[in-house]
Structure 1
């Protein structure tokens, strides 16, 4: 098999001494590969090493040709334009100068063979559903999903031989996800994608699992991977049961052997006491019996230890992945209490309207958003419609109760501080031991709780941010969550859903993950629209 990406005994660690990868060997074949693993296993770090964004402490990475890399967090800048993000501003400037009559040699050098760069850029943006986004529009006016799609267009414009995508569906609305799925399905080069998106992983040719510091390849898509792992786990659990049965058998045989030996010794002693054999003969029989007893005990003990070793080996094959245990504050909001009241500015379409046509549902546009009691509200809408802006307004102005807001970009924490210190900043009255106990439920145990937030993976950063928010004083009676399933592995999404389902405060969740929303028992579904504003869905 031809391998397109080869990772040879690579080690990497952060400056604070945290080791992420240690002597990793991996080889990724041509085609579309999904890289999966638990949060914090090193997936994003591995992608950065392959993209040469990071340099390994030791070992080497071999990648042929041009590499395109879409990171989990796209670098932003309020003054940057879409053209800057596409990395075509210099070429466009040279083209415009030539079109304006400036024939300086440096302009022709800057353009090279890329005379159709604007047309190609426009075509990529249109293909990805960004036909409304101009090349000179500032990045600061784009939604999180629009920014990701522009950044993807930038990588596709490079015509790379190898394309690396890190959680590309984060923040994408349903239409944008479908367009990204289509781009992945049509991709002819080498693709390595880190994702927890099931629909995306179903489109891939093979799954690579990064687990406990090593990579293992599984042929086929996510369903095939899960079937293979389930079969392996069933065999491993059978192996454990067999090993446990063998230990019980060896323990019985050891006990039975001891009983036989003790019975033989008692028989010899009684024979001597009854003068049936001379003392010298009895002593000889006793020594012989003791030697035999020692050999028997040693033999059975050796078999018992071998059985225990087999049990240990079998147990190691059984997956026992730690999962976060989210405990939300025990806050209960009375049913009639108003927790939120926010005046809205409806964005009605221009021109007169005679109401809905036949078969068209009446859309009730809200002028004021009012939430009473422990309502659970799902906030839907396409990228760029203003969902994040609305959540920020609620957090800053609209709530009548303690409120906490979990943003998409997880920028609430101080990168320079440890996880413990960040949580203590939000819960100053909590003791260090109490904070550490809370963090342990989010899988930050021991020295991991002392790790600087700036070195965390996307999933780890989410867990740290959520731990800080839920430890905040006073406890929140209104939670605002903006795309909370981004960066989370599947087990963590399940645990988060279970915890939120038990939360007795008010909840507003903006998400494109409909299966996740449906598990939360939403009482209202609202839709944010670019033109009309907020309406009951």
Structure 2
């Protein structure tokens, strides 16, 4: 029987009582499916239900075939090695004993002499050079993710379940994962906001609060379909608004005709040339007909208004955010940032960055790239003054703002509105609310406490507070802004950065994001290497 996964009428609620799924039915067959949706909609929970880590509160999960779930990189036990990920420690220990002449004849008969070479080949397939005996604690988070993925596919399960497999990976690591999945011919369910990775999928499954919808094809085809759906929603809205107007006009015309007839009837009755009983019958019939017409018109009006509201809601969900921001006034030839022969680090005698130079002029959009551990975040700390150079100097020559992954410039205990007023003291309440509304923090949403925000909301709030003032800073520095964001949040951030006319310095491995914000120059970092 072919491998498959079937979810029938699944129900699941959080311990707090928030419903994630109600009567959810979904099927997966051999092929690669990208699972997308806003943060908090239940994507990771769905994978845990499929894998058996969670049990549905109602409904049934049926799996035909074997499953492999990529374990998160942070879940590492003391003394655990790469070989443990592959479930091969005992078999490799047998090989060591056999090489030392300590294995029995029975053990030698079961020895797999190709095992170590096959494990190393699997690691190489994801771009990782490590021996099976390497301790997982000695690997970076990104390296552990790659090792876990290598071990997962090494077991050749019928389905692999991956939750954000390219998070925290450098460009080479992301490329290795993308290449591996592009060549994967069994089943795969992949939660990801990495649009380059999603373009290798055979189908996209969109999870919303209303359920799940499957779209055949990769991410690019899915986006084309969403554009078509947006056009259809706009057409439905126009049709519904026309019906509302038409019903109102007809109701007005009917009311005017009735008023004229009532006036004529009163005149005729006043003349006394019609029997009283006939007048009463005509009046009752007219009132009954009028009442039925009013009720019918009211039902049609209510339906048309409901259709218009539904179309409005669909448009708001489907339509990408578009922003207009005040100008920074940055002159084209102005020097913005000057780094000269910077050497810096955290431990004496062990520099993370050595002899590094970089100049930014005008509204350049520069990305800092390089492998994990090459000093990208260290560079941003030196620019912001959080880390003092050992040698060389760093000069920021204009007003700037830095948004790290925690958006530390915001006070977590204050509201978005209060943070905006603190960062932009010249803005009055109307200007504050208008600026926040442009970033989709309307009305009471602007009063949310920053510490309660999701990752996507947090970064959007940071951008609103920094870019929404009367004169935004001429330089904006971002550190891995798309990590842990859903795709809707990423697209909102992209819209804000496209509308910004100042200089950008961005650390990111997300190629689709970098292209969307119009990066003009790439600077590749290598640890302790001078780059100009």
What is the TM-score of this pair, normalised by structure 2? 0.74
Offset at residue 263 of structure 1 (A)? 1.6
1:343 counterpart residue number: 342
Secondary structure of the residue aligned to 2:317 is: coil
1:270 and 2:264 aligned: no
Offset at residue 180 of structure 1 (A)? 2.7
1:396 and 2:387 aligned: yes
Deviations 1:72-111 (A, max 9, x none): 6553578654444445444433432343344489x959x9
Aligned equivalents of 1:429, 1:242: Cα separation in 2: 42
Aligned equivalents of 1:314, 1:500: Cα separation in 2: 28
Deviations 1:47-69 (A, max 9, x none): 23222333444433222333222
Residues 1:517 and 1:397: Cα distance change in structure 2 (over 3 Å): farther
Offset at residue 125 of structure 1 (A)? 1.3
Deviations 1:322-344 (A, max 9, x none): 87899999999995676867732
Aligned equivalents of 2:464, 2:236: Cα separation in 1: 41
**Is 1:322–1:443's contact at 8 Å kept on the other side of the alignment?**
no
2:368 counterpart residue number: 379
Residues 1:500 and 1:341: Cα distance change in structure 2 (over 3 Å): farther
1:169 and 2:166 aligned: yes
1:464 counterpart residue number: 458
Residues 1:372 and 1:50: Cα distance change in structure 2 (over 3 Å): same
Secondary structure of the residue aligned to 1:367 is: strand
Offset at residue 190 of structure 1 (A)? 1.0
Mapping of 1:311-350 within 5 angstroms?
311-312=308-309, 318=315, 320=317, 343-344=342-343
2:492 counterpart residue number: 495
Aligned equivalents of 1:205, 1:379: Cα separation in 2: 32
Aligned equivalents of 1:31, 1:519: Cα separation in 2: 29
Offset at residue 213 of structure 1 (A)? 3.6
1:201 and 2:198 aligned: yes
Offset at residue 465 of structure 1 (A)? 6.2
Residues 1:451 and 1:68: Cα distance change in structure 2 (over 3 Å): farther
Secondary structure of the residue aligned to 1:237 is: helix
Unaligned runs of 5+ in 1: 347-364, 414-418
Aligned equivalents of 2:152, 2:496: Cα separation in 1: 38
**Is 1:80–1:139's contact at 8 Å kept on the other side of the alignment?**
yes
Offset at residue 390 of structure 1 (A)? 4.4
Unaligned runs of 5+ in 2: 346-352, 424-428, 467-471
1:350 counterpart residue number: none
Secondary structure of the residue aligned to 1:75 is: coil
Residues 1:476 and 1:63: Cα distance change in structure 2 (over 3 Å): farther
Offset at residue 192 of structure 1 (A)? 1.0
Deviations 1:357-380 (A, max 9, x none): xxxxxxxx9714466788754212
1:533 and 2:524 aligned: no
Mapping of 1:101-140 within 5 angstroms?
101-103=101-103, 116-130=114-128, 132-139=129-136
Offset at residue 503 of structure 1 (A)? 6.1
Residues 1:449 and 1:293: Cα distance change in structure 2 (over 3 Å): closer
Aligned equivalents of 1:521, 1:317: Cα separation in 2: 29
Offset at residue 14 of structure 1 (A)? 3.6
Secondary structure of the residue aligned to 1:343 is: strand
Residues 1:286 and 1:502: Cα distance change in structure 2 (over 3 Å): closer
Farther off after superposition, 49-58 or 156-165 = 49-58
Residues 1:262 and 1:6: Cα distance change in structure 2 (over 3 Å): same
Residues 1:102 and 1:448: Cα distance change in structure 2 (over 3 Å): farther
Aligned equivalents of 2:84, 2:329: Cα separation in 1: 48
Residues 1:337 and 1:311: Cα distance change in structure 2 (over 3 Å): closer
RMSD: 4.8
**Is 1:406–1:484's contact at 8 Å kept on the other side of the alignment?**
yes
1:36 counterpart residue number: 36
Mapping of 1:146-165 within 5 angstroms?
146-165=143-162
Aligned equivalents of 2:307, 2:457: Cα separation in 1: 36
Offset at residue 527 of structure 1 (A)? 1.2
1:191 counterpart residue number: 188
What is the TM-score of this pair, normalised by structure 1? 0.74
1:361 counterpart residue number: none
Offset at residue 510 of structure 1 (A)? 1.9
1:247 counterpart residue number: 244
Aligned equivalents of 2:421, 2:301: Cα separation in 1: 53
Aligned equivalents of 2:521, 2:312: Cα separation in 1: 46
Aligned equivalents of 1:483, 1:101: Cα separation in 2: 51
